[in-house]
């Protein structure tokens, strides 16, 4: 089950999950790159940190997702899709993402 989160509600929703999340970057050469990163918000955009390999993938394909997993107090994960805004440093570091959509998603029963 998923519940859409409006773009203007993402920052408030993320506060319930803490200050760090997983950044998932697609890779043409194999599995996605996953980076655990602090997340900050500036003007509605997300600021995350990625490593050198994830930065290279983002330079080639600027779309990625940010995942805050479900917690004891939050039964649903928060998933935000976004696109890089500006330049990506080849050595990695901070990346600014403009969110394009978000959902709260209940983990599969198991």
Q: Could you list the residue range(s) of the whole structural domain that residue 58 is in?
A: 2-105
For residue 94, tell me if it sits in a domain: yes
In a domain, 68, yes or no: yes
**Overall domain count for the chain:** 1
pTM recorded for the entire structure: 0.93
Per-residue pLDDT of the chain (110 residues; tens, 9 = 90+): 899 999 999 999 999 999 999 999 998 878 888 999 999 999 999 999 999 999 999 999 999 999 999 988 889 999 999 999 999 999 999 999 999 999 999 877 76
CATH of the domain at 36: 2.30.110.10
Does the residue 110 lie in any domain?
Answer: no
Task: Provide the CA 101 distance to its chain's centre, in angstroms.
Answer: 11
Distance CA 57, CA 76 (A): 28
**Which residues, other chains included, contact 108 with Cβ-Cβ below 8 Å and sequence gap of 6+?**
none
């Amino acid at each position: 089950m998923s519940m859409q989160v409006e773009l203007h509600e993402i920052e408030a929703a993320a506060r319930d999950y803490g200050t760090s999340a997983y950044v998932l970057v697609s890779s043409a050469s194999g599995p996605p790159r996953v980076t655990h990163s602090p997340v900050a918000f500036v003007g509605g955009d997300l600021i995350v940190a990625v490593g050198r390999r994830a930065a290279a993938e983002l330079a080639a394909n600027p779309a990625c997702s940010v995942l805050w997993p479900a917690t004891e107090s939050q039964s649903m994960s928060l998933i935000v899709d976004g696109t890089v805004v500006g330049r990506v440093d080849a050595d990695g570091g901070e990346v600014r993402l403009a969110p394009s959509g978000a959902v709260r998603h209940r983990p599969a029963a198991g």
